[in-house]
Structure 1
């Protein structure tokens, strides 16, 4: 991969951090300024992929029996037509709810965020499609997952994350928003250093292992980055709160998956190349640019 060229392309844009780890070492470490290395950045929807890892850990530890368990088990006040929704539907964003957030550009779900009770707001959203048929980007689903982590573990999502994920990875410098009821936001709301985003990527590259300790099961990581639904062809398919690039559609030689946050935040993993890339940007209107540049460089490896 032509990393110097890619780095140069990012230098010309509003990219604060560009880190590349390959085959056991950091091969590129670009920060726009010294301060950029120390800053915690809004990782936005990368929070969703972290929630996915937490669901995997909760299953492994026996807090959650199965992803096919209907969520009514933990959310008894769910409307009748949603009684069949499962964790799988939330993870794949195939609840079928009416929810506008993504597609023709990005629409931040302001009504949701400004509501007094986020969980109630999500539960009241009408169904438009049969659950499990179509993926439609929905931060509400991610927030329900955070709520389920809290309900099943009897601790906040942040406490659970700290014990089982963040502390073992030595991620200590972060921020995480809460909703009006104190539930940690599942769909966005985290801030983190670029070097710590890299650790999340490395944990996935290493199939759930960190320093010889298994933090999340390898099969969960594998299942998370299997293509399940495609709604937004220009970005890729969706797994369990991870995006997946189909090598054929994108004309790239390798299976590639990534976490993506608004404004150009990425953790990209290419297992066959033993590669993890972290990009942190300030590109509110052009957040897909770093991804497109990265894909272009992968394509050139043919």
Structure 2
């Protein structure tokens, strides 16, 4: 049964960025604003524009763009402005880039749109022949913004066995069924700790990569808000995929570490 993966979607967006980098279509140090010159809202505050000009794709991937703790993109269905690109660009950057980890959908949405701009197709169309089809995954469901861009921060629809294939790809350093779908270098960069997280509780204290969480037991994971999770355990050569609808998602992680992990 397919379920909404919520923020697990971000790790698929990260994968698309990595594939575009492997193709030479963009780099981590590209300035975000260069992809949105025609989308910049008029009359932006001077400080906002200054900070946008310094923002890189890597800052998006590490959630260190400078956004505040809560912003409009995280309650996107109530937005009056249907141009979500303008919403993301005009949402105040409270901090300089790279200064603080702040979890938000703005970053993954912009990253996904950038992939669409450099590839000339939708995020899903880009991933179909490069990721989903080689993994044996039929076209997933997904959300579109009012502008027609795939929303790269949430709402990808997948089943648990499909999610496990994604984890297996990363466990095998980007190789699946004898084919290198994404470079080993990207897998290693995307899944290692790139920044400390603001929330130092539980698994989150282990840091964040490029839209991947670091976790205990030398693990990393793609993670959604209702317990959807794909945990890659390199030390155990194992993947644990869960497709749930549980508000207490920490209870699921506790169960994994207490009951499943010791028996691997």
TM-score norm. by structure 1 comes to: 0.78
Q: Which deviations, in whole Å up to 9, do the C-alpha atoms of 1:102-140 show, x marking residues without a partner?
A: xxxxx9922466341111111111111111011100111
Alignment pair present for 1:49 and 2:14? no
CA drift of 1:83 comes to 0.6
Corresponding position of 2:32: 71
Given candidates 131, 154, 157, the residue that maps to 2:97 is 131
> Structure 2 residue aligned with 1:80, among 6, 24, 49?
49
Relative distance call for 1:93 and 1:262 in structure 2 (3 A) is same
2:108 matched residue in structure 1 = 142
Instruction: Please give the secondary structure, in 2, of the residue aligned with 1:281.
Output: coil
User: What does residue range 274-293 of structure 1 map to in structure 2 within 5 Å?
Assistant: 274-284=237-247, 286-293=248-255
Q: Contact (CA 8 Å) 2:159, 2:243: kept in 1 or not? A: no
Aligned to 1:97: 67
Tell me whether 126-135 or 114-123 shows the greater mean CA deviation.
114-123
Deviations 1:73-97 (A, max 9, x none): 2111445221110000000000011
Mapped to 2, the partners of 1:257 and 1:137 lie a distance apart of 17
From 153, 158, 163, give the equivalent of 1:192. Answer: 158
Q: 2:24 aligns with which of 48, 62, 65?
A: 62
Instruction: Give the deviation of 1:280 after TM superposition.
Output: 1.2
Gaps of 5+ in 1: 1-38, 102-106, 248-253
Measured in 2, the distance between the counterparts of 1:255 and 1:99 equals: 27
> Which sections of structure 2, spanning at least 5 residues, go unmatched?
41-47
Find 1:232's aligned residue among 175, 193, 199. Answer: 199
Between the aligned partners of 1:50 and 1:300, the Cα distance in structure 2 is 28
Higher-Rg structure is 1
Deviations 1:144-203 (A, max 9, x none): 011000000111111101121111111105201100011001100110111110110000
Identify the match of residue 220 of structure 1 among 183, 186, 201: 186
Note closer, same or farther for the CA distance 1:139–1:113 as it changes in structure 2 (3 Å cut).
farther
> Is the alpha carbon distance of 1:130 and 1:43 closer, same or farther for their aligned partners in structure 2, counting shifts above 3 Å?
same
What is aligned with 1:244? 214
Question: How many residue pairs are counted as aligned between the two chains?
Answer: 249
Comparing both structures, which one devotes a greater share of its residues to helix?
2
- The CA deviation at 1:244 is 0.2
Structure-2 change in CA distance of 1:271 and 1:113 (3 Å): farther
Comparing 192-201 with 71-80, which one deviates more in the overlay?
Answer: 71-80
Looking at structure 1, the residues matched to 30 and 103 of structure 2 have their Cα atoms a distance apart, in angstroms, of 21
Q: 1:171 aligns with which of 130, 133, 137?
A: 137
For the aligned residue pairs, the C-alpha RMSD in angstroms reads 1.9
Q: Equivalent of 1:109, from 58, 74, 82?
A: 74
Which residue number in structure 1 is paired with residue 45 of structure 2?
none
Return the alpha-carbon distance in structure 2 between the equivalents of residues 299 and 210 of structure 1. Answer: 24
What's the counterpart of residue 87 of structure 2?
121
